[in-house]
Amino acid sequence: MLNLFTDRGPNFTPARLAFTLKQNEGVKRTKMMQKRDGTFLLPLWQDVDSYSRGVMLNPAPKQVTIDFGKQVGTVRQFQPTYKAAPVKEDRGISSLTFPVYDHLTVLAITP
């Protein structure tokens, strides 16, 4: 997971990426981040209990839509808790509906 967010090098001034997020209640996100190579990272997860008294609850994923208002180059979806490689990649899209689980999902967006 740390490799996804690692960005060594000199300080830089990040750009902005306009987007709107239509989400179901209970989906959390942190601020959009940008790496030096221009990639934006948006972490999301559900704010729900995954376990109860040692029993795995397996909450259902919630659908979230991100709208960029214009076409972006690439959107890669990561679930770094389980896999280092992207689980899905889309190119040349202006919006995307995707599942958010009780574990971390990260969108890596290349404008």
Domains of the chain in sequence order? 2-110 (2.60.40)
Over residues 35-86, the pLDDT tens digits come to 999 999 999 998 877 778 888 788 889 999 999 999 999 999 999 999 999 9
Give the Cα separation of 30 and 102 in Å (integer). Answer: 15
The DSSP result for 35-99, as a single string, is -TTS-EEEEEEE-S-SEETTEE--PPPEEEEEEEEEEEEEEEEE-TTT-SS-SEEEEEEEEEEEE
Tokens standing for 108? 């890596």
Tokens standing for 59? 């909450």
pLDDT band at 31 (very low <50, low <70, confident <90, very high): confident
What does the pLDDT read at residue 57? 81
Do you know the residue count of the chain?
111
Percentage of the chain modeled with pLDDT above 90: 68
CA of residue 85 relative to chain centroid, distance: 13
**Which pTM does this prediction carry?**
0.88
Give the Cα separation of 102 and 5 in Å (integer). Answer: 20
